Amino acid sequence: MNIVQYPHPSLRYQARPVTRVDDALRSAASRMLGLMYEAKGVGLAATQVALPWRMFVYNPAADPSKPELERVILNPVILEKKGSLDESEGCLSFPGLYQKVRRAKAVKVRYHTLEGSMEELEVADFVSRIFQHETDHLSGILFVDKLGPIGRLSARPALARMEAEFREAQSRGEIAPDAELVRRIDEIASGGAVSP
């Protein structure tokens, strides 16, 4: 498992609802937390590790020594949004790119836990931003889709560079062609094994 970078097609995948919590899912969640901490991130969505499930992990402290703050979120739904806040945002699939994104200041969310319970929660500010950013990922929506005209313009060179590097890696055979990458995710979604 590794964190995929833009424009890997998994980042545009429509993740499927989690219908069963089994050892494979628990193990995927724990590996995602490990990768997130390694990359010093605060959140990581399943589509960022080429898995097709509506699942993300987060820890607002980005600190593995604070496991009491880490959460595994399944099937998140944003029920209500309140207010708005412009803050700088980044993404582990876009290393080095930070742009201001307008998000709701507070959201009411509903999700399942790994233990199988359904929770409802109101979160604000930074954690609200994490929920919105990660829930977007599960619908194939990326933070660069949310930029205003100025942000879009200033992000353009970085995005063009990432696209060129990804396509070059594909032409060197280091990354599989898009169709093959999508086929692998589809296979996992249709009940195939989770890749190691």
Q: How far is the CB of 103 from Zn ion (least distance, A)?
A: 13
Which is nearer to Zn ion, 112 or 129 (by Cβ)?
A: 129
Q: How far is the CB of 92 from Zn ion (least distance, A)?
A: 6
* Among the listed residues 29, 50, 91, 175, the single contact to Zn ion using CB under 5 A: 91
Where do runs of H (alpha helix) occur along the chain?
23-38, 125-137, 149-171, 178-189
Among the listed ranges 6-14, 24-32, 85-93, 167-175, the one in contact with Zn ion (CB under 5 A) is: 85-93
Q: How far is the CB of 155 from Zn ion (least distance, A)?
A: 14
Count H helices and E strands in the chain, helices first: 4, 7
Among the listed ranges 26-34, 69-77, 88-96, 120-128, the one in contact with Zn ion (CB under 5 A) is: 88-96
Which residue has the closest beta carbon to Zn ion?
Answer: 91
DSSP string, 61-78: T--TT-GGG-EEEEEEEE
**Residue 32 within binding range of Zn ion, rule CB under 5 A:** no
Distance CA 108, CA 82 (A): 9
Which is nearer to Zn ion, 91 or 138 (by Cβ)?
A: 91
Whole-Å CA distances, 144 to 21, 55, 141: 31, 21, 8
Q: What is the largest CA-CA distance in the chain?
A: 47
Q: How far is the CB of 94 from Zn ion (least distance, A)?
A: 7
Whether 123 contacts 42, CB under 8 Å? no
Task: Kindly state the helix (H) or strand (E) to which residue 27 belongs, with its residue range.
Answer: helix 23-38
Q: Give me 84's structure tokens.
A: 């708005």
Which is nearer to Zn ion, 43 or 112 (by Cβ)?
A: 43
Among the listed ranges 7-15, 87-95, 104-112, 185-193, the one in contact with Zn ion (CB under 5 A) is: 87-95
Binding residues with Zn ion: total (CB under 5 A): 1
Please tell me which residue in 87, 115, 134, 163 is annotated as part of the active site. 134
187 tagged catalytic = no
Q: Give me 152's structure tokens.
A: 């879009």
For residue 104, give the nearest of 62, 41, 146, 58 by alpha carbon: 146
Question: Where does this chain bind Zn ion (CB under 5 A)?
Answer: 91
Q: What amino acid positions are annotated as catalytic residues? A: 134
